[in-house]
């Protein structure tokens, strides 16, 4: 606190000493004023503008006392000396001001260069983050290390989690949370604390609190932007890694399913050949014939399921390629319903084909697999002996096939997820067999035909799957769900 007064006192003392020496050496007013200007300049350089101003006033007083007639008196008789003293004071003030501005500009330039260097080091460090470790703690540590912040608190609301570094406090943690929830930035200059909200586009996803005397608002804004970029990059890399892991996992599951289906086909072929041979031999008793017929019936059923899984695996592992053909949807549904009678067990099939024919263009085998999957899926989860209703109707410019059953309900949060690959509801996956790929293939088939597949399910109306396809000669239009 004594530094301003110390600078003014030193300057005044030096001016007084030089003026006294100049008086003893018989300097004139001009020579003494030149020396005093140098003193004022050095005081400006060492201490500052206000200390130099006080020194310049002391210099004017010494010039008037020692060098302006009458000597050794503060009274100045000659008007020319008044003008000289006034010019000296104005010159001293101008020199002090210019010197101060030059020093401030130099300090700002040095500060900007230092900040740019620290930001460059920080941004470069972000690019080489260790992907095997969490991003948040690394970023907080880098801010403290490269930027020189005293305390760092980063709040990631997507998890949510706090990452800290340095001498942070509980108040900093609360400030980070409140900054995010209130979506407000703030500069607490008195406590050298800065808060910024992190945005992903227009949506906030976190906040950062920084403490440090070397920070500036511009510096803090740049740090917040770099932190945002770092988190976005980390989230992007995480999604890429997750997508790659899911792709490899799905590929492995499809390969395993394909292998199992092929492995089942060999013994099933042997069983079917053996049962057929025994039946054709005709040397069995009545009870033996019934047992062989039962074996043959269930082996054929298991063979059909194996072929179905094998076909689904092939469709899942490759892009769906259509071989479109015009067909009557009512006839196709009627044919599929007839073929599915053995696959739905004791569930009666009810078919409502409407009053008119509905023509569509599509790949007949793929559509048959899709509708069969919906019917078989309905039979798996329907109540015992409850009917399964298949309907064909026209809605706007779409032909809609619906498959309805009564039984287990699909919760709203699962109605989209059941079309994901290999997803099975935790409530039903132990109650009915399945691979979890049938509905995903059906969804892809519908979209490949420029149609859609969705489900409505509640306790009152039951569960209904809808397959919509564009009618021939009509533009595609989404069906209201």
* pLDDT (tens digit per residue) in 397-447: 889 999 999 887 888 878 777 877 667 666 555 455 555 667 888 888 888
Q: Burial level of 26, CB count in 10 A (0-12/13-18/19+)?
A: exposed
Distance (Å, whole) CA 434 – CA 314: 16
Put residue 434 in one of left, alpha, beta given phi > 0 → left and psi -120 to 50 → alpha.
Answer: left
Q: Which of 8-17, 234-243, 385-394 has the lowest mean pLDDT?
A: 234-243
Distance (Å, whole) CA 57 – CA 129: 59
Q: In percent, how much of the chain has pLDDT > 90? A: 8
Higher pLDDT residue, 274 or 480?
A: 274
Q: Which of 92-96, 316-320, 372-376 has the lowest mean pLDDT?
A: 316-320
Q: What is the CATH number of domain 247-317?
A: 1.10.287
- What does the pLDDT read at residue 314? 58
* pLDDT (tens digit per residue) in 306-326: 766 666 555 555 556 678 888
Same fold? 247-317, 325-470: no
Q: What integer best gives the mean pLDDT of the chain?
A: 80
Place of tokens 């006033």: 57
Q: Strand 325-328 vs strand 203-211: parallel, antiparallel, or unpaired?
A: unpaired
DSSP 408: S
Class (C level, CATH) for 132-241:
alpha beta
- What does the pLDDT read at residue 464? 92
pTM reported for the whole predicted model: 0.45
One of 3.30.565.10, 3.40.50.880, 2.60.40.10, 3.40.1440.10 is the CATH number of 325-470, namely 3.30.565.10
Distance (Å, whole) CA 440 – CA 13: 91
Distance (Å, whole) CA 79 – CA 102: 35
Q: Which of 136, 132, 161, 119 is nearest to 230 (CA)?
A: 136
Which pair of structure tokens corresponds to residue 68?
Answer: 């302006």
- What does the pLDDT read at residue 475? 39
Distance (Å, whole) CA 179 – CA 171: 12
Domain boundaries along the sequence of the chain: 3-108, 132-241, 247-317, 325-470
What is the mean predicted confidence (pLDDT) over 223-238?
83
Looking at the DSSP bridge assignments, the partners of residue 156 are: 161, 206
Whether 38 contacts 77, CB under 8 Å: no
Residue 128's pLDDT band (cuts 50, 70, 90): confident
**Total H helices, total E strands in the chain:** 11, 12
State CA 58 to chain mean position distance.
65
Q: Is 67 helix (H, G, I), strand (E, B) or coil?
A: coil
Q: In percent, how much of the chain has pLDDT > 70? A: 86
* pLDDT (tens digit per residue) in 172-211: 888 899 888 888 888 876 778 889 999 887 888 899 999 8
């Amino acid at each position: 606190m004594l530094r301003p007064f110390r600078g003014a006192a030193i300057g005044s003392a030096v001016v007084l000493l030089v003026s006294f020496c100049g008086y003893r050496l018989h300097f004139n007013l001009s020579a003494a004023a030149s020396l005093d200007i140098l003193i004022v300049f050095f005081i400006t350089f060492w201490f500052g503008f206000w200390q130099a101003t006080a020194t310049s006033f002391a210099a004017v007083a010494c010039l008037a006392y020692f060098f302006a007639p009458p000597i050794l008196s503060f009274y100045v008789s000659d008007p020319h000396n008044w003008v000289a003293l006034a010019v000296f004071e104005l010159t001293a003030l101008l020199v002090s001001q210019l010197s101060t501005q030059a020093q401030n500009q130099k300090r700002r330039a040095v500060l900007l260069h230092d900040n740019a260097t620290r930001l460059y080091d920080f941004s470069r460090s972000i690019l080489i983050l260790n992907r095997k470790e969490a991003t948040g703690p690394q970023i907080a540590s880098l801010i403290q290390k490269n930027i020189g912040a005293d305390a760092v608190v980063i709040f990631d609301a997507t998890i949510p989690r706090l990452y800290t570094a340095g001498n942070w406090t509980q108040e900093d943690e609360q400030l980070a949370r409140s900054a995010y929830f209130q979506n407000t930035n703030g500069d607490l200059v008195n406590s050298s604390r800065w808060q910024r909200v992190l945005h992903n586009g227009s949506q906030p996803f976190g906040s950062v609190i920084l403490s440090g005397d070397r920070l500036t608002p511009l510096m803090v804004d740049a740090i917040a932007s770099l932190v945002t970029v770092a988190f976005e990059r980390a989230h992007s890399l995480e999604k890429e890694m997750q997508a790659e892991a899911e792709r490899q996992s799905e590929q492995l599951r499809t390969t395993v399913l394909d292998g199992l289906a092929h492995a089942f086909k060999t013994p099933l072929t042997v069983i079917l050949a053996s049962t057929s041979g025994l039946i054709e031999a005709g040397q069995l008793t009545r009870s033996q014939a019934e047992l062989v017929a039962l074996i043959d019936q269930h082996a054929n059923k298991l063979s059909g399921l194996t072929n179905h899984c094998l076909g689904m695996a092939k469709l899942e592992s490759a892009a769906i390629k259509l071989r479109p053909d015009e067909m009557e949807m009512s006839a196709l549904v009627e044919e599929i319903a007839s073929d599915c009678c053995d696959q739905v067990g004791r569930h009666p099939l009810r078919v409502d084909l409407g009053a008119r024919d509905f023509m569509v263009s599509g790949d007949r085998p793929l559509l048959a697999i899709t509708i069969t999957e919906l019917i078989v899926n309905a039979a798996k989860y329907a109540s015992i002996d409850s009917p399964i209703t298949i309907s064909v109707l026209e809605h706007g410019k779409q032909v809609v096939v619906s498959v309805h059953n009564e039984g287990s309900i699909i919760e709203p949060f699962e109605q989209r997820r059941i079309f994901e690959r290999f997803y099975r509801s935790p409530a039903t996956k132990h109650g009915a067999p399945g691979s979890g790929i049938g509905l995903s293939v059906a969804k892809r088939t519908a979209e490949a035909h420029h149609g859609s597949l969705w489900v409505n399910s509640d306790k009152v109306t039951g569960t209904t799957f809808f397959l919509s396809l564009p009618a021939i000669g009509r533009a595609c239009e989404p069906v209201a769900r």
